[in-house]
Amino acid sequence: MAGIVYCKKGVMLEVEKWFHNRWFGNTHRVRCHTYAYIGWLRGGHLLLKYHNLHKDRDEYHHRIYDPATGEEVLHEVLERYQFPVFSEVLDELEYLSRNL
């Protein structure tokens, strides 16, 4: 699943998710195994990244960038349970872009 969400103040969020489909008896399960949320200013710098795109898929990264310079100001490695859902990423983007 992939797409771009156009937000207020020229903020965009690129969303990419990859899934596994499995059957367990009569139950069909779909589970996301790879994620990427990348937020940036249209024609400008990155604002944030959440992803597990490195070789170790159990390593979840959160990065925040200075909207004026594009410099990374935070990089932390998260556990799977700490990885945000879509609405939480949108909330964080709104917070990061509040002074634009």
Instruction: Answer with the residue of higher pLDDT: 37 or 53.
Output: 37
pLDDT of residue 62 exceeding 90:
yes
Task: Give how many domains the chain has, as a whole number.
Answer: 1
Q: Are 52 and 46 within 8 A, CB to CB?
A: no
Tell how far CA 37 is from the center of its chain.
2
pLDDT at 18: 87
Please write the tens of the pLDDT for every residue from 75-94: 999 998 999 999 999 999 99
Please write the tens of the pLDDT for every residue from 1-50: 899 999 999 999 999 998 888 898 899 888 878 889 999 999 889 999 99
In terms of residue numbers, what domain contains 21?
2-96
Using DSSP, state whether 94 is helix, strand or coil.
helix
Using DSSP, state whether 10 is helix, strand or coil.
helix
